[in-house]
Amino acid sequence: MESYALLIAATLNAGTVLAIAALGLLINEKAGVVNLGAEGLMLCAAIAGFAAVVHTGNDWLGFAAGMGAGAVLAAIFGVLVIWLGTNQYATGLALSLFGVGFSAFVGIGYVKEILPDRPHFAVPYLADIPLVGPALFKQHPLVYGAMLLVLALIWFLYRSRTGLVLRAVGESPASAHALGYPVRRIRLAAVVAGGALCGLAGAYISVIYTPLWVEGMVAGKGWIALALTTFATWRPARVLLGAYLFGGVTMLQFHLQGVGVQVPSQLLTALPYIATIVVLALISRNPTWIRVNMPASLGKPFYPGS
Amino acid sequence: MTDLSKRSIVKMVALTAVAAAALVGCGKKEEAPKAEAPAAAKPEPLKIAFAYVGPVGDGGWTFAHDNGRKEIEKAFGDKVVTTFVEKVPESADAERVIRDMAAQGNKLIFGTTFGYMEPMLKVAADNKGVKFEHATGYKTADNLRTYDSRTYEGAYMAGVIAGKMTKTNTLGVVASIPIPEVVRNINSFTMGAQSVNPKIKTKVVWVNEWFNPPKETEAATSLINGGADVLMQNTDSSAVLQTAEKMGKRAFGWDSDMTAYGPKAHLGSAVINWGPYYVKAVGEALEGKWSTGSSWWGVKEGAIEMVNVAADVPEDTKKKIDEIKAGLKAGTFSIWKGPIVDQAGKEMLAKDAVADDKFLGGVMFYVKGVEGKIPGK
Amino acid sequence: MLKLEMRPQASRLWTYASPVLALVLTVLLGVALFMALGKDPVRGLQMFFWEPIKTSYALGELMVKATPLLVIALGLSVCFRSNVWNIGAEGQFVIGAVCAGGVALLADKDTGRWIVLAVLLAGVLGGMLWAGITALLRDRFNASEILVSLMLVYVADMVLSYLVYGPWKDPAGFNFPQSKTFEAVTQIPRLMDGSRVSVGLLMALVGAGFLWVFLFRTRAGFAQQVGGLAPAAARYAGFSSRKALWVALLTSGGAAGLAGALEVAGPIGQLTPYVPAGYGFAAIIVAFVGRLHPAGMVLSAVLMSMFYIGGELAQSRLGLPKSITGVFQGLLLFCLLACDTLVAYRLRWVASKKGGV
């Protein structure tokens, strides 16, 4: 029984990375912008965060550095895509390729660095409850932060005026523009905010999850986060659940190996992607569903003059 | 934009292109005189090149090879010139890199991973004057020979320590790819532990890669969650040790000394010392005594060592390790000596029989005490 | 302040000059990068632009690298011109390689030379099959081809992994995850001795020729592209956008699959977990930099190959990190996308005005 409690704990940890990144992408996509560069962005943020902690010893500065790196790269992407009207998918891909190479480049000097002892967290009292305690209450603050982020986003998107404007921009930029809203600036703000969150997720990987630096260490989590946003039909709460689901797959895989169950590991690894395709097919076939769920202007550039 | 400015931009672009071409052309000419500068009375140093599959900074497999390369430089000084290329993938690109090494005048080329086997064979066939050394492979040619290290001896010694230090009697191994070498190490680790603690069992998790720190971390976490309190690995990074450190368990360093990565968790590092073999190979090449074959070195030749055993390991265990090392060096002790039974109880090696290299090279069964099944079998 | 102003019509000059300017910018940034790392920038540029064309062997290797890039890019250009965004060419490449490998494994010592044709055909069909899944989901369910094709890349990687770790593993290979080495008779014929260049290069060039004819001289090609440029007009003219979707995806899938077959039955000679080399993604850059035009893509495929090989040489000869290749490729695409703005817009100095975004 205890091993299941620990499995849950590990899943929460693994899912947090995906959740934070996917929530950032969700903000982007609600405003109508797809950032395929998530993987490269997260890698640059990971090395930024790691380097910051190596030099200052402070984890929170590391997270800030990661968010900063993510925001800067997202801003460059945003200017290209929103103001210069470049193709969103190609630009995102370029960011991804560039980010992978650049982070490896910058990170060469940090490959052998070791971070100071990682702190242990536990919620007082709650952590001591048998079974439930180790499963849920011995996590890094950011794990709980991700859950709070979901609540904050739900409030922001569906209860606040700014969130409404953001969604309007994503659904019909022309209408929002006609109403006098600075569509492009709003989109850029969304892209930068989303980039900062992806950056936070990237920094979490290199500072907390696997506290070392190795090139390519994000290992596809950026792409999974992109899939996750779609899989969750652009709803924050579903993103969190989906993140735990996807994050849990790897831990489940190893757990099954450990107890001697032989499922081809490749099948388990492919499951999140197959699941996303199925969901995509299901939600897209009904034009009403897709209109209700997917931001209508997703991927399309907006020109105020046109 | 007026026609005038359009034209000036075109001119600028054209000029830049011409300038770039001129720069490149000039640079080329500078190359030629520089190449003739070294010369003089001393004989040309032997050019040696290394192809690494991972980054030199991995702190594990590639790091160990690079240390061996540095030993060559120390031993032979200016009689040799060594270079390396890291992160050469085990794919079609490897052939180009190795061929380029031969074309650049390297006369002795080391390929440090199994996946370079076919590319090296192809390049060796086209470059008869160059000697090739392939690590962990099994195909040879007149100018290509293989070498490997008896990592299972390090695994056995780790097992002895693990058996003594475990409190839950559950050991864990983060394994890479299910080839005989790795299965042999898992078995040796288990047998070593059983020699001091017959009650232990070993759990294995396969990550299907040699080097993937995030995945290694998850695998190690999964083992610890499943009850293992001492871990061993057959992967190339320090992630397993770091995870053990984080979770308050013990683990071993692998391929290189990993004490720094987990000072509290570290029980010892089973290191590979490529220096002795590399120095021998270079010496043979320099003296013209190089010939093909295959070598498999262990503790006896100084290629395997268990270093930095933790202070809290009991004295009698440390003595036992020393005895094992002495026995291996003298040839009086064999790790793979019967009776050895597999998980089902079938006798794989008769009582008092000593396994030969052929048997060891084909080990694809788990010994009793290891849980689970080998993937793909 | 500088302002972007839409041109009345796309600038012909910048359509050609933009890639050149992008390349120049990338080179300048590269020089800055070399200097920041304390390496001689001239030698650095040499590695990228001179060494790969210096000897006939080097040229051959350049072509070996460029062939799959070009083949995939040719297929992708049909897609992109039709406004179908196939991002999953990498997955189609892998499945093409898997199918080709499967046929190659059937050969034994007595098989005739015809097996090469079967291998290539299998590759094309495999790639088409994989792209067909994307086409079906878009056609029937209206699912975004971008996301579906991207997800399928990872599924394809897993299919390959499953096969080489399992059913197709070489029984004599000490349990290493790789298939048997293919019989010599399955090898794609080489163009000349002493070089690894295969007839694949010829196929690519011929393909480029065919594509040019198709896109610019046939009604079908015209119909295909109108769907991408002006879907409403296409519907009005009776051009089927469904047909355009399927043609686009099957063509690019088949092309990617062919590239996979050429690689696996060519330089690699077996199936390993390392078959996915990122060509499917790099080919997207090749297609863009080549302006989706057959002649342009031939040039950009060569350019991208120079980046690959140059990066390798920069690593082995200058001690520069391997990641430099990815940096350059990404930079090139960034610069190209930015410079492309100049095709549709022009920069103007305008007196500051209040308001506006």
Whole-number percent of chain B with pLDDT over 70: 88
Quote the crossing angle between the two packed helices C56-81 and C294-318, to the nearest 10°. Answer: 130
Least confident of A101-110, A117-126, B22-31, C207-216: B22-31
* Residue C18, burial from CB neighbour count under 10 angstroms (0-12, 13-18, 19+): buried
User: Which uninterrupted H or E stretch holds B230?
Assistant: strand B230-233
Residue closest to B247 by CA, chosen among A50, A118, A144 = A118
Alpha-helix residue ranges (DSSP H) falling in B208-335: 213-225, 239-247, 275-287, 315-330
On the question of a common fold for B46-149+275-301 and B151-272+336-361, the answer reads: yes
Residues B215-252 have pLDDT tens digits of: 899 899 989 988 999 999 999 888 899 999 988 999 99
Residues B93-150 have pLDDT tens digits of: 888 899 989 988 999 999 999 889 989 999 999 999 999 999 988 889 999 999 999 9
Whether A250 has a pLDDT exceeding 80, the answer reads: no
Alpha-helix residue ranges (DSSP H) falling in chain A: 2-30, 38-56, 59-78, 88-106, 132-136, 141-159, 161-171, 173-178, 183-204, 221-231, 236-258, 265-285, 287-293
Q: Which amino acid belongs to residue B151?
A: T
> For residue C228, what are its two tokens?
């991408």
Q: How far is C307 from chain B (nearest CA, A)?
A: 14
Rounded mean pLDDT, A130-134? 78
Residue closest to C311 by CA, chosen among C326, C298, C293 = C326
Q: How far is B25 from chain C (nearest CA, A)?
A: 8
C341·A99 Cβ contact <8 A: no
CA A162 to chain centre: 22
CA C256/CA C194 separation, integer angstroms: 27
Rounded mean pLDDT, B44-63? 87
**Quick one: pLDDT at residue C200?**
86
Residue B171 — very low, low, confident or very high, per pLDDT cuts 50/70/90? very high
User: Omega into B339 within 30° of 0, i.e. cis?
Assistant: yes
CA A63/CA A199 separation, integer angstroms: 8
Residue B1 — very low, low, confident or very high, per pLDDT cuts 50/70/90? very low
A280·C154 Cβ contact <8 A: no
Residue B87 — very low, low, confident or very high, per pLDDT cuts 50/70/90? confident
Rounded mean pLDDT, B7-32? 42
Mean pLDDT of chain B: 85
Q: Which residue of C has its CA nearest to A275?
A: C151
Residue A94 — very low, low, confident or very high, per pLDDT cuts 50/70/90? confident
Taken as a whole, chain C contains a residue count of 357
Whole-number percent of chain A with pLDDT over 70: 97
Partnered with residue B232 across adjacent β-strands are: B173
Tracing tokens 């000084």 back to the chain, one arrives at: B77
SS3 C176: coil
Residues B334-347 have pLDDT tens digits of: 999 988 999 888 99
Residue closest to B217 by CA, chosen among B207, B204, B202, B228 = B207
CA A200/CA A177 separation, integer angstroms: 31
Strands B304-307 and B266-272: antiparallel
CA A31/CA A192 separation, integer angstroms: 11
> For residue C191, what are its two tokens?
């163009």
**Quick one: pLDDT at residue A305?**
58
Quote the crossing angle between the two packed helices C89-106 and C241-263, to the nearest 10°. Answer: 50
Considering only residues 116 to 175 of chain A, which have any Cβ-Cβ distance to chain C shorter than 8 Å? none
SS3 B271: strand
**Quick one: pLDDT at residue B5?**
40
CA A37 to chain centre: 11
Partnered with residue B85 across adjacent β-strands are: B51
How many CB atoms lie under 10 A from the CB of residue C108? 9
Rounded mean pLDDT, A41-48? 96
| Higher local confidence (pLDDT), B165 or C147 | B165
Whether B39 has a pLDDT exceeding 70, the answer reads: no
On chain B, the residues whose CB falls within 8 A of the CB of C49 are: 24
CA C104/CA C186 separation, integer angstroms: 6
Rounded mean pLDDT, B57-84? 90
> For residue C252, what are its two tokens?
């690019």
Phi, psi of B264 (to 5 degrees): -80, -30
Residue B4 — very low, low, confident or very high, per pLDDT cuts 50/70/90? very low
Q: Which residue of C has its CA nearest to B9?
A: C17
C315·B179 Cβ contact <8 A: no
Whether A155 has a pLDDT exceeding 90, the answer reads: yes
Strands B230-233 and B250-255: parallel
Q: How far is B373 from chain A (nearest CA, A)?
A: 7
User: Which residues of chain B have a Cβ shorter than 8 Å from any chain C Cβ?
Assistant: 1, 6, 9-10, 13, 16-17, 20, 23-24, 26-28, 30-31, 83, 85-87, 89-93, 95-97, 100-101, 103-104, 114-115, 118, 138, 177-180, 208, 361-362, 364, 375-376
> For residue C37, what are its two tokens?
């790392």
Considering only residues 69 to 88 of chain A, which have any Cβ-Cβ distance to chain C shorter than 8 Å? 80, 83-87
Q: Which residue of B has its CA nearest to C308?
A: B93
Rounded mean pLDDT, A132-153? 87
Superfamily of segment(s) B151-272+336-361: Response regulator (3.40.50.2300)
Whether A70 has a pLDDT exceeding 80, the answer reads: yes
Helix, strand, coil percentages, rounded to 5, for chain C: 70, 5, 25
C-alpha distance from residue B312 to each of B169, B171, B229, B317, B324 (Å): 18, 18, 15, 10, 20
On chain C, the residues whose CB falls within 8 A of the CB of B26 are: 42
Phi, psi of B267 (to 5 degrees): -100, -25
Q: What angle do CA C16, C18, C20 make, to 5 degrees?
A: 80
CA C315/CA C47 separation, integer angstroms: 9
Residue closest to C119 by CA, chosen among C32, C17, C9, C199 = C199
Rounded mean pLDDT, B26-32? 36
Phi, psi of B46 (to 5 degrees): -75, 125
Q: Does C324 touch chain A (CB under 8 A)?
A: yes
Match domain B46-149+275-301 to its CATH number in 3.30.499.10, 3.40.309.10, 3.90.950.10, 3.40.50.2300.
Answer: 3.40.50.2300
> For residue B254, what are its two tokens?
């692998």
ipTM of this complex prediction, to 2 decimal places: 0.81
Residue B26 — very low, low, confident or very high, per pLDDT cuts 50/70/90? very low
CA B264/CA B244 separation, integer angstroms: 9
How many CB atoms lie under 10 A from the CB of residue C283? 32
Whether B183 has a pLDDT exceeding 90, the answer reads: yes
Q: What angle do CA A92, A98, A102 make, to 5 degrees?
A: 145
**Quick one: pLDDT at residue C354?**
55
Q: Which amino acid belongs to residue C213?
A: V
Q: What's the whole-model pTM score?
A: 0.84
User: Which uninterrupted H or E stretch holds C122?
Assistant: helix C115-141
> For residue A204, what are its two tokens?
């979490």
Q: Each residue of B90-111: b (16+ CB within 10 Å) or e? A: bbbbbbbbbbbbbeeebbbbbb
Phi, psi of A53 (to 5 degrees): -70, -35
**Interface size between A and C, measured as CB pairs under 8 A:** 155
Whether B170 has a pLDDT exceeding 50, the answer reads: yes
Strands B294-297 and B144-149: parallel
Whether B283 has a pLDDT exceeding 90, the answer reads: yes
Residue B274 — very low, low, confident or very high, per pLDDT cuts 50/70/90? very high
Whether B61 has a pLDDT exceeding 70, the answer reads: yes
Dihedral sign (CA A288, A293, A297, A299): negative
Strands B46-51 and B80-85: parallel
A212·B225 Cβ contact <8 A: no
C-alpha distance from residue B303 to each of A246, B54, B58, B298, C129 (Å): 43, 20, 20, 5, 51
**Quick one: pLDDT at residue C353?**
56
Phi, psi of A176 (to 5 degrees): -60, -40
Which CATH number is A2-293 given?
1.10.3470
Q: What angle do CA C222, C226, C227 make, to 5 degrees?
A: 120
**Quick one: pLDDT at residue C257?**
96
Rounded mean pLDDT, A108-119? 79
User: Which residues of chain B have a Cβ shorter than 8 Å from any chain A Cβ?
Assistant: 55, 57-59, 203-206, 208, 211-215, 217-219, 221-227, 237-239, 242, 246, 260-261, 371-373, 375
Mean pLDDT of chain A: 87
pLDDT digit string (tens) for chain C, length 357 residues: 667 777 887 778 887 888 888 889 999 988 888 888 777 888 888 888 888 888 888 888 888 889 999 999 999 999 998 888 899 999 999 999 999 999 988 888 777 888 889 999 999 999 999 999 999 999 888 888 888 998 899 899 989 988 988 888 888 777 778 888 888 777 888 877 777 788 888 889 998 998 988 888 888 888 888 877 777 777 777 777 788 899 999 999 999 999 999 999 888 888 888 888 889 988 998 998 888 899 999 999 999 898 888 888 887 777 777 778 888 888 888 888 888 888 877 777 777 655 544
Biggest distance spanned by C-alpha atoms of chain C: 81
Q: Give the residue extent of every domain in chain B.
A: 46-149+275-301, 151-272+336-361
Q: What angle do CA B13, B18, B21 make, to 5 degrees?
A: 125
Q: Give the residue extent of every domain in chain A.
A: 2-293
Least confident of A285-289, B73-77, C185-189, C311-315: A285-289
Whether A21 has a pLDDT exceeding 90, the answer reads: yes
Strands B340-341 and B347-349: antiparallel
Q: Which residues, 6+ apart, have CB-to-CB distance to C176 below 8 Å?
A: B114, B177, B179, C169, C170
